[in-house]
Structures are given as C-alpha cells and as structure tokens.
Amino acid sequence: MARTKVGRERVARKPGRKGASEVGVDAYRLLRQAIIAGRFVPNERLVEANLSKVLDAGRTAVRAALVRLDQEGLVTREHNRGARVRLVSDDEALQIEEVRAALERLLARQAAAKASSSDIRELRQVIVEMRKCFANGDAIGYSELNPRFHQLIWTAAKNPTAGRLVGTLKSQSLRFQYQTMLRPGRTERSLREHELIFSAIVAHDPEAADGAMRDHLEEVLENLRWAIGNKGRPPQWLPD
Amino acid sequence: MARTKVGRERVARKPGRKGASEVGVDAYRLLRQAIIAGRFVPNERLVEANLSKVLDAGRTAVRAALVRLDQEGLVTREHNRGARVRLVSDDEALQIEEVRAALERLLARQAAAKASSSDIRELRQVIVEMRKCFANGDAIGYSELNPRFHQLIWTAAKNPTAGRLVGTLKSQSLRFQYQTMLRPGRTERSLREHELIFSAIVAHDPEAADGAMRDHLEEVLENLRWAIGNKGRPPQWLPD
DNA sequence: ATCCTCAATAATGTCGACAATCCGGGCTGT
DNA sequence: ACAGCCCGGATTGTCGACATTATTGAGGAT
C-alpha cells in the first residue's frame, strides 16, 4: 500500500528526460551514434565512468551498451582493460566492403523478385531526387541520398536477416565512406549505376538486378582501393 | 601487501574450476553451447536466477551473456519481460540459409585465390575422410565432417569478417540442419559437390569455386525447402 | 456466471559498494 | 646510472540490495 518509496529519490537524472524511452537502449543508441559519427578518435579509450556522465546513464547501462557494441564490432574490450573504439584497418575495410557487396547483391536480387509497387514508388522518388542533386552539382545532397536508396532496397527485399547484417557492416566501415565520392566524375557514373539497378528492380528481373548491383559495388570497391592507396595525402577535389 | 582478503571467501564456486578462464566468458560460452545443442525448448524462458545457478556464475555475468546472445540473434529480450531462446521460423531459416550461401560463395572464391598449400593439404585430408565415410555408409560421420570442410574454407579465405558472420548464421539455423542429410542419395551427391569445390580451390580458380559452391548450396537450400515442406511428419528414411 | 479490481508473487532493471587488476612513477639496492 | 620492486591512483569486474514492473489468482460487484 502506498509504499511510495521515499527512501531513495528516483529523481530524474536530469530535469528534461523523455519519459517513454528506456535508459539502457538510449545509452546504446547514443553511444553508437557518437562512434559512427566519428566523435571519438580511433582507439580512444572508453571509460565507463565518463560515458556514464556524458550519456547520463548508470554504469550498468553503459556496460551493457559496450557489450552490445563489442559484439557488433564497433568497440573492442579487453578483460580488466576496458573498451576502446575499434580501429578498422584498411584491409579489414576492404574485407567488410567485399562482404557487404555479396549481401547487397543478394538483396538486390530479392528486391527485384519481391518488390511491391509502393517500394518501387519510393525508389523512383529517390532516383528523381538524385537526378536533381546531380543536375545542381549538389554532391553532398547526393551522398545523403545514397544510403536511403540502399535501405529502400533492403526493405523491398523483405529479408530482415540480411538487412540487419548489412546495416552493421555499413556502420563498421562508415569512416571510410567519405572518401568515396571525391573523385571527379564519380557522381555521374554512380547515378547511372543506380538507375540501372532501379530499372532492373522495376522490371522484376533478379538476374539483371544482381548484375547491376555487382557492377555498382565493384566500382565502389575500386574507388575504396584507390582512396586507400592515396592515403596520407589530404583528400581534395581535383578540379576538372 | 598480502591483502589476502579473508572477508569474503572467493572460494571457487564449485570445487573443480579451471583457474585461467574468466567467469563471464565461460557463462557466455556455456549458455551458447546449450542453446545451440538444443537443450532448451524453443521459446523457453531464460530466467536469470536459474541460469545463475545452473551455469554457476553471477547474475551479472548471465546478464552480459544474454545481451551478447541477443545481439547474436540466439535469444530475444523484451524489456522487463526477460529473455527467451529465439525461435527461428521456417521463413527465417530460409533467409538465413540464403545469406549464408552468398557469404560462402564469397569465401570459396577468396579461398581459391589465397589458399596456401597447407590449407589445401588439410582440405584434401577431409575429402579423403569423407570418401571413407561414404564408402562405409557412415552417414553420421560424414555429417560431422561437413562443417569441418566449410570451416577450413573460411580459414583458407583469410577473411575473418566473413568467417565470423557465417559462423553466427550457422549457429542460428543449426536446428534445421539435422534434416538435411536424411534424403536417400543425398550423401553421394554431397560428396561429389564437395569434391568439385575442392578441385576448384586446388586449381586456384575463383570463378569455378564460386560456381561449385553456388551449386552445392543451391542443392542444400532445395533440401531445406523440401524438409520444411515435409514438416510435421516424423523424419524418416525412405529405404530405397 | 462474468468481468473488473487489486493484492501477492516472481522476475527484471538499476544502483552503490567494494574487491581485483592494471598502469605509471618513485624508491632502493647494487 | 640502471634495473627491478613496490606502491598509489585509476578503472574495471562482481556482488548484494532494492525498486519497478509484469503476471497470476482470488475475491467482490453487477
């Protein structure tokens, strides 16, 4: 009865707090976003007490988040030595990208087989916007459309297993992605490749979708190799 | 010095305990093995207190293990509702198998490109043993050789990223695997397919390895579909 | 009889405390 | 001067305690 625990004020950790969201999952998402956004230097130590304050969550929640992120490959944990943000080497980035390519091919194939008309409508929408960005020379707008296009394919494929996997892979190699669109003329080719994938899906032709996605990601991989080769030099536009 | 804490007996939780191993990782491995081995009914509730006693680990360790296994897809956790062993539906099993096929194709390709002579030696060893098992009609021996063959390919491919992924996928769908070898004549075909993969790797022909692995896993997938179609009926040999 | 309410129970989520461990810096002995 | 040792600070790992939440079952009102 009315055991309104007065003993320990469960006073909100901080005044403004979304009531509906849980603490643990929040800590996980926040930390994940922070890592993906590159707000930590690679190999930086993640001290639980600090994160606890910064994320405004108990150490327990931080701990759970670190365990998840470890399993996810975004941080490494050594016994009694804490957690660090994981540094993915160049070789690893290539491996990850290869795996991602294999999965995206599968997803493109399945998307072509199973895409609903609403899936196709949304894809078309993105393609239209991409064309606009290209016409306006808006390279960064284009870059932001890119992941949306791929995500739509994942949902169209209706294969959540593969979708989750590709998502985590992408988050691991995201740091390398910013270099991929700097090459002159890359945007135009990319647009054409995306259009090919799209039309294959519209035509419900799995074979063609697979091939188009293969070509596209082969191109991306080639770019990545090039970017890694040019490492150390500051990334810069080569004005055409 | 010699702060040999007597206050709280850290006496081994149970008499026989490997000193070098840590508790947490042990709990994880044990629970994982138990789930994979099918020692739980699908959808069975995993009560932390019970596991704590059974696994002989603190509740904290159990908790961490559950978080990991959740991320790995072997259990599901609902907030304030605990964890259950995850039941993978038939559809999901098919999806998983499709993803696995895509990854194994990649691995076969890379194995053909990069296999060292010692890798090849070990693979040959397994093939020889497989032939023996087939000749003796030892179907279960053959079944146990199967995963070893594939694992050797993963190591030969030298792509730990893909290897880990395939490993977790396999653990998720392991429950469905026992049905795959029951079909009459399956063993012989399987052996031939494995031999084809092997010779492609020996010849360092990535394209052929990819194709052979594709054919092999297409066959496996077909078997899985058949097995799922025949569900409910008790699995039984059809004597030829 | 059926549905609603509400307490008892069981399990999870979270926190604080403390031990175990690692790391860096100073001290000592040769 | 230099190597090795040892200690103190900092950080992680683990445990127990307790609040919170879902669930179950009994009892009462309609």
Same domain flag for A173 and A213: yes
User: For residue B31, is it within any domain?
Assistant: yes
CA distance A152 to A212: 16
The β-bridge partners of B82 are B78
How far off is chain A from B210, nearest CA to CA, in Å?
Answer: 12
Top mean pLDDT of A113-127, B18-32, B174-188 is at A113-127
- The pLDDT confidence band at residue B20, using thresholds 50, 70 and 90, is low
Q: Domain holding B36: CATH number?
A: 1.10.10.10
pLDDT tens readout for residues A38-63: 999 999 999 999 999 999 999 999 99
In the numeric block, which tokens belong to residue B179? Answer: 């049905």
The residue-averaged pLDDT of B6-22 equals: 45
Select the residue from A161, A170, A213 to test the B interface by mutation, using most B Cβ atoms within 10 A: A161
Confidence tier at B234 by pLDDT (50, 70, 90): low
Q: Which distant-in-sequence residues (6+ apart) come within 8 Å of B121 by Cβ?
A: none
**Is the C-beta of residue B85 closer than 7 Å to nucleic acid chain C?**
no
Token representation of residue B107? 């691995």
H or E element that contains A227:
helix A206-229
Average pLDDT over residues B97-116: 97
Chosen for mutation from B70, B79, B155, B161 (greatest number of chain A CBs closer than 10 Å) is B161
Domain boundary among A85, A108, A134: A85
Using the Cβ of B122 and the Cβ atoms of chain A, whether some distance falls under 8 Å is answered with no
Do residues A108 and A98 make contact, with C-beta atoms less than 8 angstroms apart? Answer: no
Query: For residue range A179-231, what is the model confidence (pLDDT) as tens digits?
Result: 666 677 888 999 999 999 999 999 999 999 999 999 999 998 988 888 888 77
Tell me, yes or no, whether A125 lies in a domain: yes
Mean pLDDT throughout B28-41?
Answer: 95
Q: Return the ∠ at Cα A216 (arms to A222 and B157), rounded to 5°.
A: 60
Residue A52 lies in a domain: yes
Q: Distance of CA A18 to CAs A50, A126, B77, B97, Å?
A: 22, 33, 22, 40
Task: Using pLDDT thresholds of 50, 70 and 90, give the confidence band for residue A167.
Answer: very high
Same domain, residue pair B121 and B210: yes
User: CA–C1' distance B10–D15 (Å)?
Assistant: 11
Say if residue A86's pLDDT is above 80: yes
Token pair for B89: 């539906």
CATH number for the domain including B207?
1.20.120.530
Whole-number Å distance, CA B55 to C1' C22? 28
Q: How far is B201 from chain A (nearest CA, A)?
A: 19
**Strand locations in A34-85 (E):** 45-46, 75-78, 82-85
> What's the mean pLDDT in A141-157?
94
Chosen domain end from B68, B85, B102? B85
